[in-house]
Amino acid sequence: GVGHRVVAGGEYFKESSLVDEDALAKIEELSALAPLHNPGAASGIRAFKELLPDITSVAVFDTSFHKTMEKENFLYPIPYSWYEKYQIRKYGAHGTSYRYIVKQIEKELGRTDLKIIGCHLGSGGSVCAIKDGKSIDTSMGFTPLAGIMMGTRSGDIDPSIIPYIMEKEGKNAGEIIDDLNHKSGLLGMSQISSDARDIEREALLGDPQAILTQEKYAKTVVSYISNYYVELEGADVIIFTAGIGENSPILRSKIINKLSCLGIKIDENLNQVKGEIRKI
């Protein structure tokens, strides 16, 4: 068999699904919800079906883990008819990652009754509030453009910026959304790179823009951790995963030090770790 990770399952897919022509058409239809991912996933599925026509194909959706969110968390304060007509709501992403790290930490601690704040910090990034193994709330939204600052994505901004810049730069809405997806975040603010390692290197050399970018990145993550700490009424575990979360002691330290008022502290010696499970 072949498994395909697909970001956006929209309202269609509540769980993993066998891939047939109908499912593939829906995955392509949902490309607007994950423009950096769904079109490529659909191309990959078609290529495998051509090469291995008799093999079972399964699509695993990033959004399906978040189907346990309540309406008060997944709806936007917009005209309710937009949800009814067009399914505009928060879908979230990185569900495959969160499902995995929840199982890992449950195994590690021998408990399933955990309040977890998961921080999937990579080129794409999100934060998720998880209770008893279920997603309660998450930072990514209708598309993966929402939430924390990312490698090339802006994360949350005032939507009024979009028509303002359209007028100033003579661009259409699609071009501005493309700028927010591909030219913003770490890349846009640092003017150095979308890669946190490059920014870290320049920050250590004293580059003020790199230092500013690191502080802004940490601040956006902290705002969601603190939000979810209140929503969950405390947390048993805060987990860092993905490229930055697993491999950047500097950014983990910046984030955790901003949470000191919650009684959360970091051991800088234990924090010198990359790519393995360790309590820090």
Q: Of these residues, 20, 62, 137, 198, which one is catalytic?
A: 62
Cα dihedral 38→9→124→133 (10° resolution): -150
Residue 66: Cβ-neighbour burial (10 angstroms; 0-12, 13-18, 19+)? buried
Contact between residue 28 and residue 138 where contact means Cβ atoms under 8 Å apart? no
Asked if residues 118 and 89 have their Cβ atoms less than 8 Å apart, the reply is no
The distance of Cα 103 from the centroid of its chain, to the nearest Å, equals 18
CA distance from start to end of the chain: 39
Helices then strands, counting H and E runs in the chain, come out as 12, 7
User: Is residue 207 annotated as a catalytic residue, yes or no?
Assistant: no
- Rounded CA gap, 73 and 82, in Å? 16
- Say which residues have a Cβ less than 8 Å from residue 79's Cβ, sequence separation at least 6: none
Two structure tokens written together for 243: 């490229």
Element (H, E) at 138: strand 134-138
Cα 99 to Cα 45, 70, 120, 216, distances in angstroms: 23, 18, 11, 28
Over the range 18-51, which residues count as b (16 or more CB within 10 Å of their CB) and which as e? ebeeebbebbeebbebbbbbbeebbeebeeebee
Give the active site residues: 62
